[in-house]
A and B are shown apart, each in its own frame.
Chain A
Amino acid sequence: MSSNRTELWKAAVFGIVSVLLYFVLFEFEGEILDVSIRGRWLSIVPVSIAFAFSLVHGAFTANFWRALGIRGNKNGGH
């Protein structure tokens, strides 16, 4: 039960941070797009955004399914 609660908390925290990231992306979409399409060394901008979203949103989605009780079978898959 307490492990479930921890996962629920983790899902909630990462979920909120993920929503914040998406909010910032679309609130400032003009500015962010303008910088990211300048290309050359500024190509680091879209690549870094993709990495940041994968870390935060990836952690959220993992905890989301776990909090719903959907987990991998420890004895299967290899």
Chain B
Amino acid sequence: MEELAVSFIEIGLAEGVFLFVVGFVGGLVSGFIGSGGAFVLTPAMMSLGVPGIVAVASNMCHKFPKALVGAVKRARYGQVDLKLGLVLGVSAEAGVLYGAHIQESIKRSFGDAGSNLYVSVAFVLVLGVVGGYVLRDAWRIYRSGRMDAVEKAGRLARWVQSVRIPGTMVYFKSLDAKISVLFTIPLGFATGMLAATIAVGGFIGVPGIIYVLGAPSIMATATELVIAFVMGLGGTIKFAWSGLVDIRLAMIILAGSLFGIQLGAIGTTYVKPFTIKVVMGVIMVVVLISRAIIIPVYMAQLGMLRPLDESVSAVLSKASFAIMAIALAFGASIILYALWHGRRAHLSQHEMLEEPVAAD
């Protein structure tokens, strides 16, 4: 334990303010789309000199209280399906453990570069397929001009809801239907595996709840917070058991992220499901680009490509982090704009309704 003690950094005012701001933006996005802030927090902490494993552990320790506060807030708006969140959370926990095991095996066999390449390829494949699908759906809604229409379950979700497997059927309020819990197991497991690999399980969890199970976007993003709480609590206990959590880092990030998550949750009450899909899809695709451009660096480190010039590697690494930060800032800007715009429209509508009463 002694050699770990020297790995905990000094936190000055500049580091504290930086983590608070990154936490706020991460919280804002998580409150709105159920997840998505975590992928930039770990690299942000590492940029301050925090060892990777301590950064992952501390990120996890800020994630579960943040998800708890966000889930409670959104439950007040009637957006959370607690039962579905807990059912998915249990299989997600198993996915986290299995995903962490795969990560450790890859790291043992191929070192840091192998592990980084695996994470980046997972990012590109998952975000390419799922992010592309979400954006395509958003584009289809935009083209049809029915951005205000009530969401309906798609073909896959209707099939899932039509399958009857005796002894496994459970009613979920977000679906307003009974489905077999057997369908939730692979979905939760994949969410957990992704969380253990790229720190954002919601990139599979939320689209899965919408397109595979058939829940509305707003309830899917809110329910994802319950899954994030279950996964985050389990992950924190696992890392804290090994003494890897820097509670100071976790609580500074939490300070900012709780301001953000409240605002993000409020934002969901002023927008249409279409906006949630746009924010989620755009963040996923921009993050995909950020991870794709770093892949050659890791491939060169593993000898799969000719060695890259050191300056080229440095530029690609910095560009990758910058694009990731831009993705988060872009998502946060859309959320703040949607909140401001939705609130203004709501207030002016409210004033118009009150005017005749005042005239009387």
Contact = CB atoms under 8 A, between A and B. Distances in A.
A36 B270 contact: no
A64 B326 CA distance: 28
Contacts of A46: 61, 236, 240, 245, 247, 250
Nearest to B265: A72
A53 B246 contact: no
Interface in B229-263: 233, 236-237, 240-248, 250-251, 254-255, 258-259, 261-263
Interface of A: 22, 25-26, 29, 32-34, 36-40, 43, 45-47, 49-51, 53-54, 57-58, 60-62, 64-65, 70-74, 76-78
A60 B254 CA distance: 13
Given A50-B64, A70-B343, A39 B241 contact: yes
Contacts, number: 133
Interface string B314-356: 0000000000000000000000000000110010000000000
Contact of B250 (A26, A43, A50, A73): A50
A35 to B, nearest CB: 9
B247 A50 contact: yes
A16 to B, nearest CB: 15
B15 to A, nearest CB: 12
Contact of B247 (A32, A40, A58): A32
Contacts of B65: 50-51, 53-54, 58
A36 B240 contact: yes
A22 B263 CA distance: 22
